[in-house]
Each structure stands twice: as structure tokens, then as C-alpha cells.
Structure 1
Amino acid sequence: MFNSTMLEPTKHENMNQNFASQSSKIYKSRIILIITSIISSLIFLTLSIFCTVQYITNTTFLTELIVTVLCFMLSLIISIYLCVKKQANKLQIIMNISTVIIMTTLSIALGIEVIVKQLYYLSLPLVPSNYGPLAFIHENGTRIHWCTNELAETNLKADQKYLDKTQSNYHSVFVNNNEKFDYSLYGYQKKHQFYLPPVITKFIVFMADIQTVNTYISTMDEDYDFNVLCGDYSYSGLMSEYGETFSNMHTKPVLMVQGNHDESTTDFIDSITQRPMNYFQKVRNIGFFFIYINNGHTYLAMDFLKNNYQQAIGFDHVFIVVHHPIYSTGEFGSFDYLTQEMETFIDGHPELNIRGIFTGHDHLFAAFKRNNIFYFVNGAGGAGIDQMTNPSVAYDRIWAQEELHGPLTVINQNCLGYEYHLDSWMKFTRTEVTFAVNRVIYTIRDLVTKQVLVTYDQVI
């Protein structure tokens, strides 16, 4: 007879089935945990890359908005998952909750940043300010650039002829050397002649890091031939900010280099200077290299110097202008690769009569001298004076009296050039460069008191 008890599972078989079921749940839980961990890791890596790129390139509003929404959506999805899914693993619960907290925090932080930036941009004028004309020196003449906050004809007349009548906010025309011209600037008329004498006797290295705070531009006198500017004329690269900076600067020809704050858009190069980032310019018997090194451009800048140094052979004086300092007593410290490459370049080309290097970036004044070549930081341009808060570059820099003098101790790789240090001041200054027989005189002037802080005599 058939025994029905034979069909019932034994106790041992039940245990096996339970074990298999538990093993399957544990396996699935581990798979979910692994997938969650991989997704979380990828998210954190993506956000790290995004934050790095954002810091370097000043990303657009759209990019920030997309990342903010993605962070919020991910946080929301995981939150819903935690609510409807029973968690079998405490580690999984902790990881998911941690991911929610991090994603929520990041999305809130990015959202606040987006809102603050947009409020800032909305507070700026919708149209550019009137400014100019700015006269940029070229080999065979001068490029005149100015701006009107209403669409207007260029209306610039040189030697009794109109050069252009294009309706625009931004006006740029080329005038031959020493031509006299009249211009109409939104109802304001004034005659200008940007004239370079046959022999240059004096130019000034005016401030870098103005960043729209043009308080001290009015301190420029008339007893010089042209200006050299060392970068950061805006804060966000907006044309309206350049209008604020240059609203009172239209008395002498200008040469300038791009700063890291000017790279947010191409307006500085495309609409204003109409020069490449790296270029060589001769002004009578003086040769200038203007190079730009920020955000990976250091290699391109140094390649430009190495490939174009022949242009400077035979000039009585050669200067290099770059926004970032070669040596530094400021908040940012030295840029190792730039410092080493610049020293190698200068030492390798004794045939060039290099007299000095002008920089900015650090919001203070500093002077160094190496092998009879002066290195100046002219970064106190109106945007504020740097305070020493960076521990990696501070060390023996004692700013109690807001000045340093004489050689300093070399501490680490962030403090290059200390043995060449002459003076540093936490003051707004300008550097006046005067040429005399067999020497160059550098006069450092306080822009607030007009007092001469120090004079350096370079025998050549």
C-alpha cells in the first residue's frame, strides 16, 4: 500500500530549503549592496570631477543646474527605495542613508550657489557701461577700442576720414601711428591723440587685479609714455565689469596681459584686446613678451617664449609680463613649474637684454632680484589686499607691520625665490620704469599717499 508520509519532506530537507532560501536572500542582498556601492562610488567620482572642473573653468549656469537636479533626483530615488523596501542588511541601510544625506547636502549647496550667482548676475547692468577709448599698441599703429551702452555708430574720425560706421555696443578700429583722431562717445566728445615719442623714457606698470575696483586708476599722471597692465580687470569676465574697470582709463596707450579672472569668457580677447593670449610687442627700442599661464596654459606660454625669443634679439630692453608670479610672498605661493622653466629660459638666453618680469595675482607688492634681473609683483590693484592665511606658504612670513625686507628663509617648494627677496608691502602700489644712461630705475609708489616707497637702480 502507498504510504502518504513518504511524500512529506523530512526535517533535513526543510532545513536545506530554508538554508537555500536564506542564502538566496543574502546573495541578492550582497548583489544589491555591491551595485549600490558601485553607483555611489561613481556618483562621488563624478561629483569630484565636476567640482574640480567647476573650480578650474568656472562652469556655466546650465551645467550647475543639471548637476543640482541630478543630485536631488538621486537623493529622492534612494529615499523612496528606503521607504518601500525592507532592508536586510544594516550596512546597506547605513550606506543608503549616508548617500541620501550627502546627495541632499550637495544638491542644497549647489542650489544655493546657483541662486547666489544668478542674483549677482541679475544685479549687474544689462548693457555695458560707457568706457574708453583704450588704445592698444601694435607694431604699425594703434587699435582703438571703446564701448557705448546703447547701440551707436563707431563714428571715429582720423585725419578727416571716418574709419567705420558699424552700429554696435563695442567699437574697435585701427589707427596708423601718430594719427590724430576725434571720437564721439554717447554724446560725450573729446579729442585724443595717442602718441608714442621716438625714444621711450618712462612707462608705468600699473596695477593688476583691479577686478572692477578702479579707485586708483585716477592716480595716473601724465608724465609717462604708456601703461602696462598685469591682468584680472574683471571678476567674472563680464563686459559690464570691464566697463567699470576701464571707465576712467583713456589717457595713454596700453599693453596688457590676460588674468585668470578674465578667462571666463572670450570677451577680453575677442572684443577688447583682439590679441592672442601669448604675443610679442615692440615699442620703439623695448621688447615685451606677454604670456598667459593659467589652467594648463603654462606649457603653451613657455613654448611660445622658446619658439619666439628671436623676436627680442637686438632690443635695448626686454620685459616679460605674466599674470601669475614667478616668485611670491603672497597668499598663493610660487608656481613651481613656471618658476623653474622661467629661470631656465632666462639663463639659457643671455643674448636677450631681459631687464625685468612684471606679474600680479598676489594682491600685494613684492620685489625680487636674481642675476641683475628684477621680478615684480604688482597685484594690489583695488580688489583688496591679501592677508596671509594659507599655512602652506606662510611659515616665516611675518606681516605684523604689513611689510617684509631682505632675503627670507626658503622653507618648502611653495616658497621659491626667498633668497632673492628685496621688499614686500601690503599696499596699493604702481611701478614706474624710467630709462637713463646705462641703467634702468624702478620707482615704487604708494597709490594712496603718492609716497615713494623704494627705488631700485639697475646698472646695465
Structure 2
Amino acid sequence: MAMITTTSIYVLGFIGLMIYTAIVIANKQLCFIFGDVSDGIEYLIICGCALAASIPSVLLLFAIYKQKQILRIQSYQVICIVFETVLLVVCVVAVSLPHSKNWGPLIEPRGNGASITWWTQIKQISSLCVEGKLYYQSDDSSTKIAGNCQYVPTYKTNNHNLLIPSVQFTFQLFDDNFTFSNVVKEDVSFFVTSDILSSRQYLQKNVEGTQQYDIHVSAGDTIQHYSNKDMFKLLSNPDQLKFLQAVGEQDAKSALQEFNYLQQVHGVCFYFVSAFDEHSQMTTASIEIAIQFLEREIYSYSGIKFIVSHQPVYSTGEHGANPQFSIAMQSFLDRHEDSNIMAVFGGRDHVFSSYQKDGVYFFNTGGSGSRLTNVFETSEMKNRTWKANRLDGPQPSDQRLNFGGEFHLLSLLQHTRVEVNVSKSGVGYVIKNIETGKVESTFAQDIKKPRFWGPIVSPYENGANITWWTRDPVKTSVCIDGKLYYGTNNMHETQTLEDCSLEPAVEKLYFHSIFVDRQQFDAVVEGKEIHFDNRPKDSVKFIITSDAHEMTPIIRRSIQNMEDFDFHICGGDQTYWSTAIEYDLAFPNWHQKPFCQCQGNHEAYATRRPVKQRDTTFHQQINGVHFFSVFIFNESDIAATDDLKVNESIAWLDANIPLHNGPKYILTHYPMYSTGGFGSYPLYTAQLEQLIDKYANNQILAVISGHDHIFAAFKRNNIFTFVAASGGGVLSKVNDLETMGDISRVWNGTELHGPIKSDTKWSMNYENHLDSYLKFTRTEVQFGSGRVKYVVRDLESWDVLVEYEQEY
């Protein structure tokens, strides 16, 4: 056996020790020694080096044993042996410890709900109990719903993601309680960062003192590699803040989210666009796709808007402006100066810079967390070097990267975040140094909101109710044929003066509602012409929608070509909470045709309405067609039916239907029959069936409803029943067993046709089912010569899905 010298062993041990120490120091996270890491990479490296460093100790002990030289061991030899033995013990102990902690949740608003994401070190069931229902993740990563929280799913995973389709809810995770809310409100606050690049230190500095904000918006590259390690660094401490971000260069590599998308948060709309493709390259095609998205969607919402893009429009940083992108963006903004775009946020360049052109602010927020750009280095700045840590005022230059320099306001070589406060009066921007907490600068702008929304013209008894809103308070008045109708925001307080030149003695208001006691009149409200004529006609055309839930993109499509129709019937839930600002979102560029809406469960919040509206139960004749509206919900609980109201509604119908001659429709937000999750309410449906059978010869043509967010059609004894609630709200989860309550009711696609077999209590009259669609729709009705034609149209493709005919 070859002689092993103790000197060589000491050298090997020393080298191993140095390697181990270097790894620990480079890692800068001593907790990783004990397994407190994200994806185990550093853990494995450290343990491997510790094991390698222990090998010389083992060889030394073996040599000593063979040569029997224990008594000649020097003190430094003892230290070497002891230290390396300790390293070996640490490595062995670390193996038994968990490699990482849990992280999350990441709460991201999505449509009319929220995406909740978290990670666990041990595979667990992905589930959250929300409002008495269990939302859980299936093996195809989709979200399923169980009817109660006692249900026990079987699929387990480390990576958890659930989509909760509600604008307000609470949930518990990791023994903490979280609240999500995305209801529309007048005052909204958020802060903007960018390019934190997995720096936990700077993320914590950015979120300090932000509990009062509604959302954290990022212009991209918050995470560097999208590994569990990066997510752990940033999300190991639970946070109540909602989060949204644009796709940055690093994010594009992972392709974990949409490159171009929009999201409304509390009534403020954010448009996230990416100039980068999936390879993190800025191309002509990717820029064109981003601009096309903006062109297509910019008028989908009527409220305040912000654009967020990782590539800045203008910048004094290293990358500077990309002229192709900057020109395209500026051209888009010039074309849509009336679109309420307040600011464009960017990132990428690791500095703060601000610009203003034509009333729109441009902020580069890339100095939020990563290494700041060396703006004094010519090689980095390409002859655009700064002369100080701060640039003020215009920076004109013929450099292509300094595009837009004449619009420059302020640039800072500091770690900053932008705090934004949106109110009725305007938008305020605060530029804060996250190192010192000092406010470096502030900016303000007035809100460029429309002068008014409306007017909404609602047939009311033998006249019409006109409702509208104005940006500035004015007196509520309308001149009709030389007569002045004036009042307040309550139609029942309408008064008249015989001369339109007289000044009514009423206060100035934002919300206006008057009643005109005439079946036919012409009027002008804020420049919008109203031609109201509710006299009987031989033929009429009208549309039916329901459950828009202020989803403006779908609302805009649903009222297209209204000039071809006589009036508009709504099955309820045009808004979600009936607040003033929701009316601003739900009625942008509204038509002036008569609009008649039955009350939905979300309109039950009568005290929140900005204007006084009619009773929950009413009869209304429109152009000779009779509509009877009833309401069976508990007004203190928007989700619950009320048996007392069921009985009252049936009794009211029984008393009023015989009083009127002509074609009749029953409007009821809760469906009589439905293939959706709510289905039939047996007590209500049974009584409605008896009532309709009783008046079979009284020209009842159909029952129109909403509530279940689908389209469904049934026909019983030549009377149709329509569920028309796919007018904008989140479509129902009809493919989910727990949502539907019974396997016989679960859809296997997006359409159902013909009779269906099901004997559950929710499945009444399934033998007379015609068609159901999981699509956004409107129903067009053509009336005349004793015949009715119903045309169901897909609001996204504009295709006709199905047609029905009926004689009366």
C-alpha cells in the first residue's frame, strides 16, 4: 500500500475547507446550510462540498490508524479533523431537514375573479374554502368547485393555482386569513415597480408601508428565472396585496402569462402589453401585436386607464427608447386622445425617468430593485452619459435612443417606486426613494373623463324615466316642446315649468332622473337625441340581455346596431354592487332606445343606487307588448331566494296578467328552468307552471330570466323559457360536477341540444330542453303578423347560434 503522508492530507483538507467556505459566502444565505432553500440546488452543492471536504479527514484517520502515529498528531491536525468532522455531521443532519418553506399566496385579479397561487414543500391537495364552497385543483390544473367544504379531493401537488370567480371573498391559507376585493370604488391607489429581478431585499423595501394600497403593479422582471428559489425569496411572507405585471424580458422566457391583456381593478383599467416575443426579442411582429391589442380593446372600458409595458416609450437609461416601439405607441395615443389614458409605465432601464406629452405621463420605473445603470459610463450609455445623479427638464438630442427627450421632466439614479392615487378629481403621482423614504417629486393631472353617461331612457307606466350623469354638477332639467321638466335624482320628484327659459329652483347634482308623462316625445340631453315613442306598433324588434356585471367589452358588443331595434329588455344584474361608478362602467356610450330591466339579485342594494329606480315588481307595456317583472330574492342576502317573495310574486302575477290584452312576457331574474348551476327553484317553478297553465289562453309567450351565466332555451306547451344571462359576467362552470350537483347535469362541452335525462330537484322540465350554450350571447326578437322569431347571437363571433319561431 502506498504511503499517505499527513502533509498531503492536510493540504487536501484545507482545499476542501476553502471550497466549502467559498460556496457558503458566495451564496450569501447561511440558512441554506440547514436546508432552508427553494429548489435544492444550493443545498446539494453545499452538502456535496461538505462531503468532499470530509474525505481528507477520513483518509487522515485511516493513515493514523495504519501507521499508529496517534501520539504524534499536532494540534492543527486535531483542529482539521474536528472541523471537517463537524462539516460532515452538518451535511448528514441537513439531509433530514426540509429543502424549502412554503411560499405564497400570490393574488392576481383575473376577469371578475382572482387567481390564487402558492407553493408547498410537501405535495398537498390544492383547495380553498370560499363562501361555503370548496375550490380545488384537478389533475389537469383546472379549478373545480364542490358544493360544500367537506368534500375531499384526491389530487396533490407542490404548485397550487386556483381561479375563484368572485369579486369579493375571504380565504384561509397557511393559518393566515386573506381578503380579496375587486369591487368598483371611487378612490383607488396603487404603486408601480419594475426590474426587482428576484431581489428580496429590494422587494421588501418596495412593499414597506404599502398596506393602504389596493394593488402592486409591476412593469416586468420582478422574478429573474421563475424558479421556486426566486418565488420563495419574494413570496415566503404572505401578503394581502393584489399583484399584476407586464411581461418583461425574463418573464418572456417562461411564457407563464399572457403577453397582452387587460384587467380592471376597482374600476381602473390596466392594459398590459409586451414589445417582446417568447424569445425575449423585440421584433416588428411583437410590437404590431401589442399595438393591435390596444386598438382592439382600448374602448372596452370607459373609466380611467393606464398602460404598462416593460419596454419604456421614452428613457434616459442604458437601453433608451426603441424608436419603432416609441413611434407606434405615440401614434396610437395621438389617435385616441379621448380614451382616458392617464399614464404609460415602463421598466427595463434601471433608472427612474419621467416625461409628459399631450397630457399623458410616461414613467420608467426600472430603478426599483436591481443594480442601477452606470449612467456615467460611455460604453453603457452610448454617448448619452449623465453629468449628475439627476436630470431635470427637457433633454433634446438627435440620438435615436434619446427619442422624446424634449418631453423629459425628471430622471433619477435612485431606487424608486411610483405611488399613484386616483380620485374623482384627478390622479396624483408620488416618486419615492425606497432607500430613504424621501419623496423626490410629485406630479398631478386632471381626469379626462367624459362629460356624462347616459341618458338611459326607461319606459315607465304611461311615460318614461330619463336618467343620466354629468361630470360637473348641474341642475336636472330637460326641455320638451317648450315645457321644462326638472327635478333631482329621484324621478318621483319631477316638476314642470311652462317656459324652458325659466330657472328651476333646485340644487345642482351629478346624478339626474326625471319622469316625462308622455307616450311620445323628442328631447336632447347633453347633446344626445332622444326619440321616444311607446305607442303600440304592428311589428317590433327588441333585444334581450342579462347579467352584464359592468363587463364593458361585452356590453359594447351587446348593444351594437341598436338603431335596428325598438327597445332593449334586460334580465337584471347590469352591475355587480349598483354603485355610482359601476353605472359609469355599465352605461358608456349608451343607446337612447327604451331600456327596461327587471331587478337582479345584485340590484337588490337599493341604497347604493345613484338614482331612484322603479319597484321590484311591475308591469310595463312597450309598443303593445306587455312585460311583467317579479323578484324572488332576499334583499339582505343577494344569493338567497325568499319563499315569501315567491308567494307574493305569484299572487301579483295572478292578479295582473288578466288585466291586460296582448302578447305577454314574464321577466324574472331567477330562472324557471335552467341547465346552469343554480337550475330550477322547485317551489317557484312549480307555482309558475300552475300559473302559466291557468292563463294558457292569455298570450303568455315566454319567461325571460338570467342569474345562471349561460344561454338556455326550453319550450313547454308552446311557451318558451329563456335563460339569457350570458351577457358579460363570468360564464358558469357547467363542466364541473360539484358546481352542477349531479353527474346527470354536467355538460361535456360548451353546448347541449335536445331533451336531457336528469331527475334532480334543479332539473325540472329537462325533457323539453331545446338548446344551451356556454357563450356570451344576446337574443334578438322580431314581432309581427302573429309570429315571433327569436335569434340567438354569439357576441364574440357575431354568428347566429340558433333560431326559434312561435305563433301567437
TM-score, scaled relative to structure 1: 0.69
State the AA in 2 paired with 1:434: Q
Question: Counterpart of 2:584 in 1: which secondary structure?
Answer: helix
Aligned to 2:573: 232
RMSD in angstroms over aligned alpha carbons? 2.8
Deviation per residue, 1:121-174 (Å, 9 max, x gap): 743475598321011102321110111233222242211333225411111112
Deviation per residue, 1:317-351 (Å, 9 max, x gap): 11000111111111222212111111121122234
Contact preservation (8 Å) 1:393, 1:415: no
Contact preservation (8 Å) 1:201, 1:224: no
State the AA in 2 paired with 1:183: V
Judged with a 3 Å threshold, the aligned counterparts in structure 2 of structure 1 residues 265 and 198 are, in CA distance, closer, same or farther, namely closer
Contact preservation (8 Å) 1:232, 1:261: yes
- Determine if the alignment matches structure 1 residue 339 to structure 2 residue 677: no
- Determine if the alignment matches structure 1 residue 179 to structure 2 residue 521: yes
Judged with a 3 Å threshold, the aligned counterparts in structure 2 of structure 1 residues 383 and 117 are, in CA distance, closer, same or farther, namely closer
Contact preservation (8 Å) 1:259, 1:323: yes
Question: Counterpart of 2:767 in 1: which secondary structure?
Answer: helix
Contact preservation (8 Å) 1:334, 1:414: yes
How far 1:435 sits from its partner (Å)?
1.7
Name structure 1 gaps, 5 residues minimum: 1-53, 56-103
C-alpha separation between the residues in 1 aligned to 2:532 and 2:716? 35
Aligned to 1:360: 706
Aligned to 2:259: none
> Which structure 2 residues correspond to residues 32-431 of structure 1 after superposition, within 5 A?
109=177, 112-113=178-179, 116=181, 122-123=187-188, 124=266, 130-164=452-486, 165=504, 166=506, 167-175=508-516, 176-184=518-526, 189-199=527-537, 201-219=539-557, 220=559, 221=561, 222-268=563-609, 271-272=611-612, 274-295=613-634, 296-313=641-658, 314-388=660-734, 389-391=736-738, 392-397=740-745, 399-431=747-779
Judged with a 3 Å threshold, the aligned counterparts in structure 2 of structure 1 residues 297 and 147 are, in CA distance, closer, same or farther, namely farther
Question: Counterpart of 2:473 in 1: which secondary structure?
Answer: strand
State the AA in 2 paired with 1:417: N
Judged with a 3 Å threshold, the aligned counterparts in structure 2 of structure 1 residues 106 and 136 are, in CA distance, closer, same or farther, namely farther
How far 1:297 sits from its partner (Å)?
4.0
Judged with a 3 Å threshold, the aligned counterparts in structure 2 of structure 1 residues 197 and 139 are, in CA distance, closer, same or farther, namely same
State the AA in 2 paired with 1:243: D
How far 1:260 sits from its partner (Å)?
1.1
C-alpha separation between the residues in 1 aligned to 2:183 and 2:582? 16
State the AA in 2 paired with 1:441: K
C-alpha separation between the residues in 2 aligned to 1:195 and 1:248? 21
Aligned to 1:455: 803
Contact preservation (8 Å) 1:287, 1:312: no
Deviation per residue, 1:67-121 (Å, 9 max, x gap): xxxxxxxxxxxxxxxxxxxxxxxxxxxxxxxxxxxxx999953xx43x8479977
C-alpha separation between the residues in 2 aligned to 1:381 and 1:132? 19
Q: Which is bigger in relative contact order (C-alpha 8 A, separation at least 6)?
A: 1
State the AA in 2 paired with 1:361: H
Judged with a 3 Å threshold, the aligned counterparts in structure 2 of structure 1 residues 143 and 209 are, in CA distance, closer, same or farther, namely same
C-alpha separation between the residues in 2 aligned to 1:118 and 1:277? 24
Aligned to 1:438: 786
Judged with a 3 Å threshold, the aligned counterparts in structure 2 of structure 1 residues 161 and 432 are, in CA distance, closer, same or farther, namely same
C-alpha separation between the residues in 2 aligned to 1:353 and 1:362? 26
C-alpha separation between the residues in 1 aligned to 2:675 and 2:766? 8
Judged with a 3 Å threshold, the aligned counterparts in structure 2 of structure 1 residues 301 and 168 are, in CA distance, closer, same or farther, namely farther
Judged with a 3 Å threshold, the aligned counterparts in structure 2 of structure 1 residues 107 and 193 are, in CA distance, closer, same or farther, namely farther
Judged with a 3 Å threshold, the aligned counterparts in structure 2 of structure 1 residues 401 and 300 are, in CA distance, closer, same or farther, namely closer
Contact preservation (8 Å) 1:332, 1:393: no
Question: Counterpart of 1:180 in 2: which secondary structure?
Answer: strand
State the AA in 1 paired with 2:601: N
C-alpha separation between the residues in 1 aligned to 2:704 and 2:538? 18
Pick the structure with more helix per residue.
1
Contact preservation (8 Å) 1:229, 1:255: yes
Judged with a 3 Å threshold, the aligned counterparts in structure 2 of structure 1 residues 168 and 376 are, in CA distance, closer, same or farther, namely same
Judged with a 3 Å threshold, the aligned counterparts in structure 2 of structure 1 residues 309 and 199 are, in CA distance, closer, same or farther, namely farther
Name which of structure 1's ranges 361-370 and 119-128 shifts more when overlaid on structure 2: 119-128
C-alpha separation between the residues in 2 aligned to 1:157 and 1:149? 20
Contact preservation (8 Å) 1:406, 1:422: yes
Name which of structure 1's ranges 367-376 and 426-435 shifts more when overlaid on structure 2: 426-435
Judged with a 3 Å threshold, the aligned counterparts in structure 2 of structure 1 residues 152 and 271 are, in CA distance, closer, same or farther, namely same
Question: Counterpart of 1:396 in 2: which secondary structure?
Answer: helix
Name which of structure 1's ranges 410-419 and 115-124 shifts more when overlaid on structure 2: 115-124
C-alpha separation between the residues in 2 aligned to 1:118 and 1:316? 42
Aligned to 1:84: none
Contact preservation (8 Å) 1:322, 1:358: yes
C-alpha separation between the residues in 2 aligned to 1:248 and 1:359? 25
State the AA in 2 paired with 1:364: I
Contact preservation (8 Å) 2:710, 2:726: yes
Aligned to 2:499: none
Question: Counterpart of 2:602 in 1: which secondary structure?
Answer: helix
C-alpha separation between the residues in 2 aligned to 1:411 and 1:421? 13
How far 1:427 sits from its partner (Å)?
1.0
Question: Counterpart of 1:206 in 2: which secondary structure?
Answer: strand
C-alpha separation between the residues in 1 aligned to 2:683 and 2:543? 25
How far 1:200 sits from its partner (Å)?
5.4
State the AA in 1 paired with 2:761: Q
Aligned to 2:19: none
Judged with a 3 Å threshold, the aligned counterparts in structure 2 of structure 1 residues 182 and 117 are, in CA distance, closer, same or farther, namely closer
C-alpha separation between the residues in 2 aligned to 1:119 and 1:299? 32
Contact preservation (8 Å) 1:317, 1:354: yes
C-alpha separation between the residues in 2 aligned to 1:339 and 1:434? 27
Deviation per residue, 1:336-386 (Å, 9 max, x gap): 211111112112223421100001111110000011110000011112221
Aligned to 2:436: none
TM-score, scaled relative to structure 2: 0.41
How far 1:249 sits from its partner (Å)?
2.1
How far 1:444 sits from its partner (Å)?
1.1
Judged with a 3 Å threshold, the aligned counterparts in structure 2 of structure 1 residues 458 and 137 are, in CA distance, closer, same or farther, namely same
C-alpha separation between the residues in 1 aligned to 2:724 and 2:512? 29
Contact preservation (8 Å) 2:543, 2:568: yes
Contact preservation (8 Å) 1:292, 1:298: no
